[in-house]
Amino acid sequence: MDVIKVKAVSRTAAVAGAIAGVIREHKHAEVQAIGAGAVNQSIKALILAKNFLDQDGITVVFIPEFVNVEIDGKVRTAIKFIIEPR
Amino acid sequence: MDVIKVKAVSRTAAVAGAIAGVIREHKHAEVQAIGAGAVNQSIKALILAKNFLDQDGITVVFIPEFVNVEIDGKVRTAIKFIIEPR
């Protein structure tokens, strides 16, 4: 299962659809964002995904954590959101 | 119980301490943020609070939602994070 990577310019509806699809199939999804714009966009997508899944009778919760990722040889701190049914 | 309001310039450790304190007392806390900088700061504080509470044996989860708030007579969309023990 791939991590869904979100950027500041990602479309929230597209990300939300991806999250909802992964949750329906795997009962677990992960979203990763680096920087304030990407984190903000992730949260909006998480809210939309939550609303999509509510309509399917699936209540999800979110657990954020810090992760270190290497980009172009530099270590950066990303935020990973784990999404699971409650 | 008051909503914990977070700004882009809020200190994450202070916000995290407030969240952990409210959870210990009420088993429910709410954090509100407007704008990408404030949302990003809220997430960092939520991760710290989660780590504090893990040490007390309390596992928390987060549920984000949109809320409309009126500021200086203008309606703005804020993000509210509900924090509860899993």
Give the model confidence (pLDDT) of A14-26 as tens digits: 999 999 999 999 9
CA dist A6 and A49 (Å) reads 14
Q: Is A82 on the interface with B (CB under 8 A)?
A: no
Please give the residue range of the domain that contains residue A53: 4-85
For residue A86, the chain B residues in CB contact (below 8 A) are: 61, 86
ipTM over 0.90: yes
Q: Is B53 on the interface with A (CB under 8 A)?
A: no
Residues contacting residue B72 through CB under 8 Å, at least 6 positions apart: none
Residue B86 Cα, gap to closest chain A Cα (Å): 8
Over its C-alpha atoms, chain A yields an Rg (Å, rounded) of 13
CB B24 within 8 A of CB B56: yes
Specify the CATH number for the domain of residue A15.
3.30.110.20
Q: Is B50 on the interface with A (CB under 8 A)?
A: yes
CB B22 within 8 A of CB A23: no
- pLDDT tens-digit series, residues B24-72: 999 999 999 999 999 999 999 999 999 999 999 999 999 999 999 999 9
Q: What is this structure's pTM?
A: 0.94
How many domains would you assign to chain B?
1
